[in-house]
């Protein structure tokens, strides 16, 4: 029993680490557009987003319920399965962050857990219908819906404000962006923070601490909210750069339209219990705001690279989830989980070390896009003499 509690503790710690990577991977969804249009300074943007993510985590529990009860057969889940899934998800999140690709943390998590589940118990353990209706279909549809709403919004906004002087119009929409970006952050908390809560709840059910069908306890809600807020505050500058500069050169009216679309779609989906990818919604909105403005240029090659990464997310995270389950299961017990964690730590350190060569910081996050996330300016401001 005691060793089981140690394992439970390690699983919770791993889940919170995942939540942290989810936070910094997704800061971009809410704030990339505001940082790109200079509506908010980079530091203020991540701070504001962190606080609102924390608030959002308390607003709704619909998505946590989907993750905890709707995707896999809870009776067959063991702690090692949950753990394997989390490790797979963290690895995929770190890899895509290194390449500056805004991939879905949610799909990484779901893919990881399903891969690990398949390795453990075979395909009958997965609720395929829940997976398709609550995860895959929303994933396919949401970027298009978000893009449509953002394109319509952008068109209307430009049409209505066309007689205004450019500078005063941009000034007004920058103020509006503070509100719309805040809403995206809040929405992100209602959708993404829930996912880790769902997984920890799943672990607690597997451990016998909670009965099947239970909802997330308060300490889980609080710790998940804090972990995602902390991750958000650290700021995933690489992904922020790609979303803010790599797809469309965004003007303030477009930024506000894109953010409003993202916030509306994410909040609506939370309401219906769909665990959609906030990343894919935000990307769809940004592409839409590029399409809705006449003469705006959309870099489809960057968008295409993202789409490939999205297709790979579920299977890759699943494969890594299965692998880490396999390692933990073969070695067995607490030792297997510790070995997995050591391997994960080594990999994370390696990725971080490699990322230093093309470091993106608040200083150079907005530098001119030259085809890749590698910034065209140094990471530090030149020293003043």
Give the total of residues touching another protein (CB under 8 A): 53
Name residues whose C-beta falls within 8 Å of residue 34's C-beta, 6 or more positions apart in sequence: 40, 45, 177, 178, 181, 255, 259
Between 170 and 340, whose beta carbon lies closer to another protein?
170
Q: Classify residue 259 as left (phi > 0), alpha (psi -120 to 50) or beta.
A: alpha
Residue placing its CB nearer to another protein in the complex, 59 or 296: 59
Residue of 119, 197, 263, 282 interacting with another protein (CB under 8 A): 263
Distance CA 102, CA 240 (A): 8
Q: Which two tokens stand for residue 51?
A: 């606080």
Residue 126 phi, psi (nearest 5):
-100, 135
Q: Compute the distance between CA of residue 287 and CA of residue 307 in angstroms, rounded to an integer.
A: 12
- Closest distance of CB 381 from another protein, Å: 25
Q: Could you say which of 10, 76, 127, 161 contacts another protein (CB under 8 A)?
A: 161
**Residue 325: CB minimum distance to another protein, A:** 28
Residues 283 and 202: their CA atoms lie apart, in Å, by 30
HEC profile for 150-195?
HHHHHHHHHHHCCCCCHHHHHHHHHHHHHHHHHHHHHHHHHHHHHH
Considering only 107-115, 263-271, 335-343, 373-381, which stretch makes contact with another protein by CB under 8 A? 263-271
- CB of 356 vs another protein, minimal distance in Å: 39
Residue 327 makes contact with another protein by CB under 8 A: no
Q: Closer CB to another protein, residue 111 or residue 189? A: 189
- Assigned token pair, 258: 């894109």
Part of the chain binding another protein (CB under 8 A), chosen from 46-54, 108-116, 150-158, 307-315 = 150-158
- The least distance separating another protein from the CB of residue 65, rounded to whole angstroms, comes to 8
Task: Kindly tell me which of 52 and 240 has the beta carbon lying closer to another protein.
Answer: 52
Comparing CB distances to another protein, the nearer of 156 and 350 is 156
| 178 lines the binding site for another protein (CB under 8 A) | no
Residues 81, 357: Cα–Cα separation, whole Å: 35
Could you tell me if 373 and 246 are in contact, meaning their C-beta atoms sit under 8 angstroms apart? yes
143 binds another protein (CB under 8 A): no
Contact residues: another protein, CB under 8 A: 59-62, 65, 129, 132-133, 137, 141, 145-146, 148-150, 152-153, 156-157, 160-161, 163-165, 167-173, 176, 179-180, 183, 186, 190, 253, 256-257, 260-265, 267-272, 274
């Amino acid at each position: 029993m005691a060793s089981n509690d140690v394992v439970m503790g390690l699983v919770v710690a791993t889940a919170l680490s995942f939540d942290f990577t989810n936070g910094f991977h997704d800061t971009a969804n809410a704030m990339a557009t505001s940082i790109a249009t200079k509506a908010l300074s980079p530091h203020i943007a991540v701070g504001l987003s962190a606080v609102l993510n924390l608030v959002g985590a308390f607003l709704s529990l619909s998505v946590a319920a989907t993750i905890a009860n709707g995707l896999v057969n809870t009776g067959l889940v063991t702690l090692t399965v949950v753990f394997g899934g989390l490790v797979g998800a963290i690895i995929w999140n770190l890899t895509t962050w290194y390449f500056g690709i805004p991939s879905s943390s949610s799909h990484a998590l779901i893919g990881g857990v399903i891969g690990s589940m398949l390795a453990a118990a075979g395909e009958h353990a997965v609720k395929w219908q829940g997976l398709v209706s609550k995860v895959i279909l929303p994933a396919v549809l949401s970027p298009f819906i978000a893009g449509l709403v953002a394109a319509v919004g952008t068109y209307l906004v430009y049409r209505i404000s066309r007689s205004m002087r450019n500078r005063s119009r941009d000034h007004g929409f920058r103020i509006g962006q503070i509100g719309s970006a805040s809403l995206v952050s809040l929405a992100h908390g209602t959708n993404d923070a829930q996912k880790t809560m769902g997984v920890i709840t799943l672990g607690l059910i597997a451990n016998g601490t909670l009965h099947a069908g239970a909802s997330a306890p308060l300490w889980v809600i609080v710790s998940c909210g804090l972990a995602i807020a902390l991750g958000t505050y650290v700021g995933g500058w690489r992904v922020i750069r790609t979303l803010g500069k790599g797809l469309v050169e965004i003007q303030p009216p477009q930024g506000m339209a894109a953010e409003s679309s993202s916030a509306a779609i994410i909040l609506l989906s939370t309401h219906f219990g769909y665990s959609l990818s906030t990343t894919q919604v935000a990307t769809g909105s940004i592409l839409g705001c590029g399409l809705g403005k006449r003469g705006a240029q959309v870099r489809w090659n960057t968008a295409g690279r993202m789409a490939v990464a999205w297709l790979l997310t579920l299977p890759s995270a699943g494969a890594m989830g299965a692998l880490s389950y396999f390692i933990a299961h073969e070695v067995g017990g607490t030792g297997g989980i510790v070995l997995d964690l050591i391997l994960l730590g080594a990999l994370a350190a390696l990725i971080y070390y490699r990322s230093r060569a093309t470091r993106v910081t608040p200083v150079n996050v907005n530098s001119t896009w030259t085809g890749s996330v590698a910034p065209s300016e140094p990471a530090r401001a030149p020293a003043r003499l």
